[in-house]
Amino acid sequence: MAYRALILKTLSDMRASYWFVPSCLVLGAAALAGGMLWLDTHAAILDTLMPSDMTDTQIDGARTVLSVIAQSVIGVAGVMFSITMVAVSFASGNFGPRLIGNFMRDRGNQWALGILIATFVYTLIILRSLQASLDGGVDGFVPQLSLMLAMGLAMLSVFVVIFYVHHVPETINVSNIAAGLGRRFCAAMEATAHDNGTAPPPPIARGEGEDITLHGVGYVQRLDLDVLDDIAKDRSLTIELLALPGGFAHAGNPVLRVSAPVDDETRAALRSAFALGPAKTEDQNLVFLAEQQVEMLARALSPGMNDPHTAINCMNWMAAGLAAGAVKGDHFGIQSRERLRVEVLDWDILLQETFGAAWVYAKDDALARKAWDHALDRLERGPSNALQTAVADLRARCLG
Protein backbone atom coordinates (compact mmCIF):
# COMPACT_ATOMS: atom_id res chain seq x y z
CA MET A 1 0.00 0.00 0.00
CA ALA A 2 1.42 3.34 -1.05
CA TYR A 3 2.19 5.71 1.80
CA ARG A 4 1.34 3.06 4.38
CA ALA A 5 4.08 4.48 6.59
CA LEU A 6 2.32 7.86 6.57
CA ILE A 7 -1.01 6.22 7.43
CA LEU A 8 0.52 4.27 10.32
CA LYS A 9 2.27 7.41 11.55
CA THR A 10 -1.02 9.34 11.43
CA LEU A 11 -2.80 6.60 13.40
CA SER A 12 -0.01 6.67 15.98
CA ASP A 13 -0.30 10.46 16.24
CA MET A 14 -4.04 10.14 16.79
CA ARG A 15 -3.48 7.60 19.55
CA ALA A 16 -1.01 9.93 21.25
CA SER A 17 -3.23 13.00 20.87
CA TYR A 18 -5.43 14.43 23.59
CA TRP A 19 -8.39 15.10 21.29
CA PHE A 20 -9.11 11.79 19.55
CA VAL A 21 -10.84 9.80 22.31
CA PRO A 22 -12.90 12.82 23.57
CA SER A 23 -13.96 13.58 19.99
CA CYS A 24 -15.10 10.00 19.43
CA LEU A 25 -17.04 10.06 22.69
CA VAL A 26 -18.72 13.33 21.72
CA LEU A 27 -19.83 11.88 18.39
CA GLY A 28 -21.02 8.76 20.21
CA ALA A 29 -22.99 10.93 22.65
CA ALA A 30 -24.72 12.74 19.79
CA ALA A 31 -25.65 9.43 18.17
CA LEU A 32 -26.82 8.07 21.53
CA ALA A 33 -29.01 11.12 22.09
CA GLY A 34 -30.66 10.61 18.71
CA GLY A 35 -31.32 6.95 19.43
CA MET A 36 -32.75 7.65 22.88
CA LEU A 37 -35.07 10.33 21.52
CA TRP A 38 -36.29 7.88 18.91
CA LEU A 39 -37.13 5.39 21.67
CA ASP A 40 -38.94 8.10 23.64
CA THR A 41 -41.22 8.86 20.70
CA HIS A 42 -42.51 5.25 20.61
CA ALA A 43 -44.95 4.82 23.45
CA ALA A 44 -45.04 1.02 23.26
CA ILE A 45 -41.28 0.77 23.72
CA LEU A 46 -41.37 3.30 26.54
CA ASP A 47 -44.06 1.33 28.41
CA THR A 48 -41.99 -1.85 28.03
CA LEU A 49 -38.71 -0.37 29.26
CA MET A 50 -39.95 1.84 32.10
CA PRO A 51 -42.75 1.34 34.65
CA SER A 52 -45.49 3.94 34.67
CA ASP A 53 -44.50 5.43 38.04
CA MET A 54 -41.12 6.45 36.53
CA THR A 55 -42.58 8.37 33.58
CA ASP A 56 -44.35 11.17 35.40
CA THR A 57 -41.60 13.80 35.28
CA GLN A 58 -42.97 17.19 34.21
CA ILE A 59 -41.43 19.46 31.61
CA ASP A 60 -40.25 22.13 34.07
CA GLY A 61 -38.61 19.54 36.27
CA ALA A 62 -36.92 17.85 33.31
CA ARG A 63 -35.63 21.18 32.03
CA THR A 64 -34.20 22.06 35.46
CA VAL A 65 -32.47 18.71 35.89
CA LEU A 66 -30.94 18.80 32.41
CA SER A 67 -29.78 22.39 32.83
CA VAL A 68 -28.09 21.63 36.17
CA ILE A 69 -26.34 18.59 34.69
CA ALA A 70 -25.08 20.49 31.64
CA GLN A 71 -23.81 23.48 33.63
CA SER A 72 -22.13 21.35 36.29
CA VAL A 73 -20.44 18.96 33.90
CA ILE A 74 -18.97 21.61 31.60
CA GLY A 75 -17.72 23.56 34.63
CA VAL A 76 -15.97 20.51 36.04
CA ALA A 77 -14.55 19.70 32.59
CA GLY A 78 -12.97 23.15 32.45
CA VAL A 79 -11.36 22.62 35.86
CA MET A 80 -10.07 19.21 34.77
CA PHE A 81 -8.53 20.70 31.63
CA SER A 82 -6.77 23.33 33.74
CA ILE A 83 -5.45 20.66 36.11
CA THR A 84 -4.12 18.69 33.14
CA MET A 85 -2.26 21.70 31.77
CA VAL A 86 -0.71 22.38 35.18
CA ALA A 87 0.38 18.74 35.48
CA VAL A 88 1.89 18.76 31.99
CA SER A 89 3.75 22.01 32.70
CA PHE A 90 5.09 20.64 35.97
CA ALA A 91 6.21 17.36 34.41
CA SER A 92 7.88 18.94 31.39
CA GLY A 93 9.72 21.43 33.58
CA ASN A 94 10.97 18.87 36.08
CA PHE A 95 11.37 15.69 34.05
CA GLY A 96 11.96 16.93 30.51
CA PRO A 97 9.76 18.32 27.71
CA ARG A 98 10.07 15.12 25.69
CA LEU A 99 7.99 13.35 28.32
CA ILE A 100 4.89 15.40 27.46
CA GLY A 101 3.81 12.66 25.06
CA ASN A 102 3.46 10.26 27.98
CA PHE A 103 0.77 12.50 29.48
CA MET A 104 -0.94 13.27 26.19
CA ARG A 105 -1.38 9.58 25.37
CA ASP A 106 -2.54 8.65 28.87
CA ARG A 107 -5.87 6.88 28.39
CA GLY A 108 -7.14 7.80 31.83
CA ASN A 109 -6.90 11.52 31.10
CA GLN A 110 -8.43 11.13 27.65
CA TRP A 111 -11.41 9.09 28.84
CA ALA A 112 -12.05 11.30 31.86
CA LEU A 113 -12.26 14.46 29.75
CA GLY A 114 -14.18 12.63 27.01
CA ILE A 115 -16.88 11.29 29.34
CA LEU A 116 -17.56 14.73 30.83
CA ILE A 117 -17.70 16.46 27.45
CA ALA A 118 -19.87 13.66 26.03
CA THR A 119 -22.28 14.00 28.96
CA PHE A 120 -22.50 17.73 28.32
CA VAL A 121 -23.23 17.24 24.62
CA TYR A 122 -25.80 14.51 25.27
CA THR A 123 -27.59 16.65 27.87
CA LEU A 124 -27.68 19.67 25.57
CA ILE A 125 -29.24 17.68 22.75
CA ILE A 126 -31.89 16.25 25.04
CA LEU A 127 -32.55 19.70 26.53
CA ARG A 128 -32.89 21.22 23.07
CA SER A 129 -35.33 18.49 21.99
CA LEU A 130 -37.45 19.21 25.03
CA GLN A 131 -37.64 22.87 24.05
CA ALA A 132 -38.31 21.97 20.42
CA SER A 133 -41.27 19.81 21.45
CA LEU A 134 -42.82 22.71 23.33
CA ASP A 135 -42.32 25.08 20.43
CA GLY A 136 -43.96 22.57 18.14
CA GLY A 137 -47.08 22.71 20.22
CA VAL A 138 -46.95 19.17 21.57
CA ASP A 139 -47.87 19.68 25.20
CA GLY A 140 -46.55 17.46 27.90
CA PHE A 141 -43.82 15.58 25.98
CA VAL A 142 -40.89 14.65 28.19
CA PRO A 143 -38.20 12.25 26.88
CA GLN A 144 -38.33 10.01 29.92
CA LEU A 145 -35.74 7.42 28.83
CA SER A 146 -33.38 10.14 27.67
CA LEU A 147 -33.77 11.95 30.97
CA MET A 148 -33.01 8.82 32.98
CA LEU A 149 -29.90 8.15 30.93
CA ALA A 150 -28.78 11.78 31.41
CA MET A 151 -29.02 11.29 35.16
CA GLY A 152 -27.06 8.05 34.84
CA LEU A 153 -24.33 9.84 32.89
CA ALA A 154 -24.26 12.53 35.57
CA MET A 155 -23.63 9.87 38.22
CA LEU A 156 -20.93 8.34 36.02
CA SER A 157 -19.31 11.78 35.72
CA VAL A 158 -19.15 12.03 39.51
CA PHE A 159 -17.12 8.82 39.68
CA VAL A 160 -14.97 10.01 36.77
CA VAL A 161 -14.06 13.13 38.74
CA ILE A 162 -13.13 10.99 41.75
CA PHE A 163 -10.93 8.82 39.52
CA TYR A 164 -9.33 11.85 37.87
CA VAL A 165 -8.44 13.51 41.17
CA HIS A 166 -6.65 10.29 42.13
CA HIS A 167 -5.12 9.69 38.69
CA VAL A 168 -3.42 13.03 38.06
CA PRO A 169 -1.07 12.87 41.08
CA GLU A 170 -0.25 9.31 40.05
CA THR A 171 0.75 10.39 36.54
CA ILE A 172 3.21 13.04 37.77
CA ASN A 173 4.74 10.80 40.43
CA VAL A 174 8.36 10.50 39.37
CA SER A 175 8.53 6.80 40.28
CA ASN A 176 5.51 6.04 38.13
CA ILE A 177 6.96 7.99 35.22
CA ALA A 178 10.24 6.08 35.43
CA ALA A 179 8.35 2.80 35.78
CA GLY A 180 6.20 3.55 32.74
CA LEU A 181 9.26 4.27 30.61
CA GLY A 182 11.02 1.23 32.01
CA ARG A 183 8.15 -1.14 31.26
CA ARG A 184 7.90 0.10 27.68
CA PHE A 185 11.68 -0.27 27.34
CA CYS A 186 11.51 -3.86 28.62
CA ALA A 187 8.65 -4.67 26.25
CA ALA A 188 10.48 -3.12 23.28
CA MET A 189 13.68 -5.01 24.07
CA GLU A 190 11.82 -8.31 24.23
CA ALA A 191 9.72 -7.60 21.14
CA THR A 192 12.63 -6.60 18.88
CA ALA A 193 15.25 -9.09 20.10
CA HIS A 194 16.64 -11.45 17.47
CA ASP A 195 19.77 -13.42 16.72
CA ASN A 196 20.43 -11.67 13.41
CA GLY A 197 20.05 -15.00 11.65
CA THR A 198 19.63 -13.41 8.21
CA ALA A 199 23.04 -12.36 6.97
CA PRO A 200 22.74 -8.75 5.76
CA PRO A 201 23.90 -7.91 2.25
CA PRO A 202 27.32 -6.24 2.01
CA PRO A 203 27.43 -2.43 2.39
CA ILE A 204 27.17 -0.35 -0.75
CA ALA A 205 30.21 1.83 -1.27
CA ARG A 206 29.67 5.56 -1.54
CA GLY A 207 29.46 6.50 -5.21
CA GLU A 208 27.98 3.19 -6.26
CA GLY A 209 24.33 3.15 -7.16
CA GLU A 210 22.25 6.09 -5.95
CA ASP A 211 21.57 7.88 -2.68
CA ILE A 212 17.92 8.67 -1.99
CA THR A 213 16.95 11.78 -0.05
CA LEU A 214 13.49 12.86 1.10
CA HIS A 215 11.66 15.98 0.01
CA GLY A 216 10.59 16.85 3.54
CA VAL A 217 12.60 17.79 6.62
CA GLY A 218 12.20 16.20 10.03
CA TYR A 219 12.70 13.09 12.12
CA VAL A 220 11.91 9.67 10.70
CA GLN A 221 8.91 8.59 12.76
CA ARG A 222 7.74 5.55 10.83
CA LEU A 223 9.44 3.23 8.36
CA ASP A 224 7.68 0.64 6.18
CA LEU A 225 10.21 -2.16 5.73
CA ASP A 226 7.81 -4.30 3.68
CA VAL A 227 7.65 -1.66 0.95
CA LEU A 228 11.44 -1.43 0.78
CA ASP A 229 11.79 -5.20 0.76
CA ASP A 230 9.21 -5.61 -2.03
CA ILE A 231 10.87 -2.95 -4.18
CA ALA A 232 14.29 -4.54 -3.67
CA LYS A 233 12.99 -7.98 -4.72
CA ASP A 234 10.90 -6.76 -7.66
CA ARG A 235 13.72 -4.70 -9.15
CA SER A 236 16.64 -6.93 -8.07
CA LEU A 237 18.17 -4.16 -5.98
CA THR A 238 20.15 -4.09 -2.78
CA ILE A 239 19.06 -1.34 -0.40
CA GLU A 240 21.09 0.01 2.50
CA LEU A 241 19.13 1.89 5.15
CA LEU A 242 21.05 5.02 6.19
CA ALA A 243 18.44 6.60 8.50
CA LEU A 244 16.66 4.57 11.16
CA PRO A 245 13.49 5.78 12.94
CA GLY A 246 14.63 8.66 15.12
CA GLY A 247 17.17 9.89 12.58
CA PHE A 248 16.92 13.39 11.13
CA ALA A 249 16.37 13.71 7.39
CA HIS A 250 16.90 16.69 5.13
CA ALA A 251 17.96 17.38 1.56
CA GLY A 252 21.66 16.84 2.27
CA ASN A 253 21.19 13.70 4.35
CA PRO A 254 20.33 10.57 2.30
CA VAL A 255 18.10 8.02 3.97
CA LEU A 256 18.71 5.16 1.52
CA ARG A 257 21.46 3.91 -0.75
CA VAL A 258 20.45 1.59 -3.59
CA SER A 259 22.82 -0.60 -5.55
CA ALA A 260 21.82 0.81 -8.96
CA PRO A 261 20.23 4.02 -10.28
CA VAL A 262 16.44 3.97 -10.27
CA ASP A 263 13.69 5.76 -12.18
CA ASP A 264 11.36 8.43 -10.80
CA GLU A 265 8.57 5.97 -10.07
CA THR A 266 10.82 3.72 -8.00
CA ARG A 267 12.35 6.71 -6.27
CA ALA A 268 8.89 7.93 -5.26
CA ALA A 269 7.94 4.46 -4.03
CA LEU A 270 11.08 4.31 -1.90
CA ARG A 271 10.32 7.71 -0.39
CA SER A 272 6.77 6.62 0.44
CA ALA A 273 8.21 4.11 2.92
CA PHE A 274 9.22 7.01 5.21
CA ALA A 275 7.00 9.23 7.35
CA LEU A 276 8.54 12.33 8.92
CA GLY A 277 7.56 14.41 11.91
CA PRO A 278 8.84 17.28 14.05
CA ALA A 279 10.17 15.14 16.91
CA LYS A 280 11.30 11.66 17.81
CA THR A 281 8.68 9.12 18.85
CA GLU A 282 8.80 5.69 20.46
CA ASP A 283 7.47 3.94 17.34
CA GLN A 284 10.15 1.59 15.99
CA ASN A 285 12.67 3.59 18.03
CA LEU A 286 14.10 1.58 20.89
CA VAL A 287 16.87 4.09 21.53
CA PHE A 288 14.41 6.92 22.18
CA LEU A 289 13.03 5.07 25.21
CA ALA A 290 16.56 4.86 26.58
CA GLU A 291 17.17 8.54 25.83
CA GLN A 292 14.11 9.56 27.83
CA GLN A 293 15.32 7.60 30.84
CA VAL A 294 18.77 9.16 30.58
CA GLU A 295 17.15 12.61 30.35
CA MET A 296 15.22 11.96 33.55
CA LEU A 297 18.42 10.77 35.19
CA ALA A 298 20.33 13.85 34.07
CA ARG A 299 17.69 16.21 35.42
CA ALA A 300 17.51 14.31 38.70
CA LEU A 301 21.27 14.71 39.18
CA SER A 302 21.32 18.37 38.18
CA PRO A 303 22.30 20.87 40.91
CA GLY A 304 18.78 22.30 40.92
CA MET A 305 17.13 18.97 41.84
CA ASN A 306 19.89 16.82 43.40
CA ASP A 307 17.72 13.69 43.53
CA PRO A 308 20.04 10.68 43.21
CA HIS A 309 17.32 8.20 44.17
CA THR A 310 15.33 9.05 41.02
CA ALA A 311 18.51 8.58 39.00
CA ILE A 312 19.04 5.20 40.67
CA ASN A 313 15.46 4.25 39.83
CA CYS A 314 16.08 5.09 36.17
CA MET A 315 19.25 2.98 36.10
CA ASN A 316 17.42 0.04 37.66
CA TRP A 317 14.77 0.16 34.94
CA MET A 318 17.41 0.48 32.21
CA ALA A 319 19.19 -2.58 33.60
CA ALA A 320 15.87 -4.45 33.75
CA GLY A 321 15.21 -3.70 30.08
CA LEU A 322 18.67 -4.84 29.00
CA ALA A 323 18.37 -8.00 31.09
CA ALA A 324 14.96 -8.76 29.56
CA GLY A 325 16.43 -8.42 26.08
CA ALA A 326 19.43 -10.62 26.93
CA VAL A 327 17.09 -13.57 27.47
CA LYS A 328 15.74 -13.22 23.91
CA GLY A 329 18.82 -12.45 21.83
CA ASP A 330 21.85 -10.29 21.23
CA HIS A 331 20.57 -7.97 18.46
CA PHE A 332 17.65 -5.58 18.64
CA GLY A 333 15.59 -3.16 16.62
CA ILE A 334 14.91 -3.49 12.91
CA GLN A 335 16.32 -6.65 11.39
CA SER A 336 18.16 -6.90 8.07
CA ARG A 337 16.60 -8.86 5.23
CA GLU A 338 17.92 -10.66 2.20
CA ARG A 339 18.17 -7.50 0.08
CA LEU A 340 17.83 -4.87 2.80
CA ARG A 341 20.81 -3.90 4.92
CA VAL A 342 20.07 -2.34 8.29
CA GLU A 343 22.44 -1.40 11.08
CA VAL A 344 21.09 -3.48 13.93
CA LEU A 345 21.42 -2.46 17.55
CA ASP A 346 23.95 -4.59 19.39
CA TRP A 347 25.03 -4.51 23.03
CA ASP A 348 27.80 -1.96 22.43
CA ILE A 349 25.32 0.56 21.04
CA LEU A 350 22.63 -0.07 23.65
CA LEU A 351 25.03 0.11 26.58
CA GLN A 352 26.49 3.34 25.25
CA GLU A 353 23.00 4.86 24.86
CA THR A 354 22.01 3.83 28.39
CA PHE A 355 24.76 3.42 30.95
CA GLY A 356 27.43 5.08 28.81
CA ALA A 357 25.31 8.23 28.52
CA ALA A 358 24.35 8.02 32.20
CA TRP A 359 27.99 7.86 33.30
CA VAL A 360 28.54 11.52 32.44
CA TYR A 361 26.01 12.51 35.11
CA ALA A 362 26.44 9.66 37.62
CA LYS A 363 30.21 9.75 38.03
CA ASP A 364 30.21 12.83 40.29
CA ASP A 365 27.50 11.56 42.67
CA ALA A 366 28.53 8.85 45.13
CA LEU A 367 25.13 7.16 45.36
CA ALA A 368 24.49 7.25 41.63
CA ARG A 369 27.97 6.02 40.79
CA LYS A 370 27.58 3.09 43.18
CA ALA A 371 24.20 2.20 41.65
CA TRP A 372 25.72 2.47 38.16
CA ASP A 373 28.42 0.00 39.14
CA HIS A 374 26.00 -2.44 40.79
CA ALA A 375 23.67 -2.40 37.78
CA LEU A 376 26.52 -3.33 35.47
CA ASP A 377 27.58 -6.05 37.90
CA ARG A 378 24.13 -7.62 37.61
CA LEU A 379 24.23 -7.43 33.82
CA GLU A 380 27.64 -9.11 33.77
CA ARG A 381 26.14 -12.07 35.61
CA GLY A 382 23.44 -12.43 32.96
CA PRO A 383 23.06 -15.25 30.41
CA SER A 384 24.51 -13.40 27.41
CA ASN A 385 28.24 -13.70 26.78
CA ALA A 386 28.05 -10.87 24.27
CA LEU A 387 26.49 -8.62 26.92
CA GLN A 388 29.20 -9.53 29.41
CA THR A 389 31.89 -8.57 26.90
CA ALA A 390 30.14 -5.30 26.08
CA VAL A 391 29.82 -4.43 29.77
CA ALA A 392 33.54 -5.02 30.27
CA ASP A 393 34.31 -2.78 27.28
CA LEU A 394 32.03 -0.05 28.65
CA ARG A 395 33.73 -0.16 32.03
CA ALA A 396 37.12 0.14 30.33
CA ARG A 397 35.99 3.22 28.36
CA CYS A 398 34.35 4.95 31.33
CA LEU A 399 36.77 4.05 34.09
CA GLY A 400 39.93 3.58 32.13
Average pLDDT, stretch 327-348?
88
Dihedral (Cα; 7, 10, 11, 13), 10-degree rounding: 160
197: CB partners within 8 A, 6+ apart? none
| CA-to-CA dists, residue 292 to 287, 329, 338, 345, angstroms | 9, 23, 33, 17
Asked if the model's pLDDT at residue 132 lies above 50, the reply is no
- Looking at the chain, the whole-number percentage of residues with pLDDT higher than 90 is 47
Measured distance CA(172)–CA(174) in Å, rounded? 6
Per-position DSSP letters for 234-266, written without gaps between them:
HTT--EEE---TT-EEBTTB-SEEESS---HHH
Asked if the model's pLDDT at residue 51 lies above 80, the reply is no
Q: In what order do the strands lie in the sheet with 239-241?
A: 210-212, 256-258, 239-241, 340-341
- Displacement of CA 4 from its chain's centroid (Å): 19
pLDDT of residue 281: 87
Q: Are 301 and 166 in contact (CB under 8 A)?
A: no
Q: Domain-by-domain residue ranges, the chain?
A: 13-172, 178-194+283-332+344-399
Confidence of residue 40 (pLDDT cuts 50, 70, 90): confident
Confidence of residue 53 (pLDDT cuts 50, 70, 90): low
State which amino acid sits at residue 89.
Answer: S
Average pLDDT, stretch 135-161?
80
Least Cα distance to 275 among 237, 238, 234, 247 occurs for 247
Q: Are 268 and 2 in contact (CB under 8 A)?
A: no
When comparing pLDDT for 336 and 310, which is higher? 310
Measured distance CA(9)–CA(3) in Å, rounded? 10
pLDDT in tens, 200-236: 788 888 878 899 999 889 999 999 888 998 999 999 8
Asked if the model's pLDDT at residue 394 lies above 90, the reply is yes
pLDDT of residue 39: 84
Phi, psi at residue 241, to the nearest 5°?
-85, 120
Least Cα distance to 336 among 265, 247, 232 occurs for 232
pTM: 0.83
When comparing pLDDT for 197 and 64, which is higher? 64
Helix axes 107-135, 20-40, angle to 10 degrees: 30
Average pLDDT, stretch 110-128?
93
What's the whole-number average pLDDT of the chain?
Answer: 86
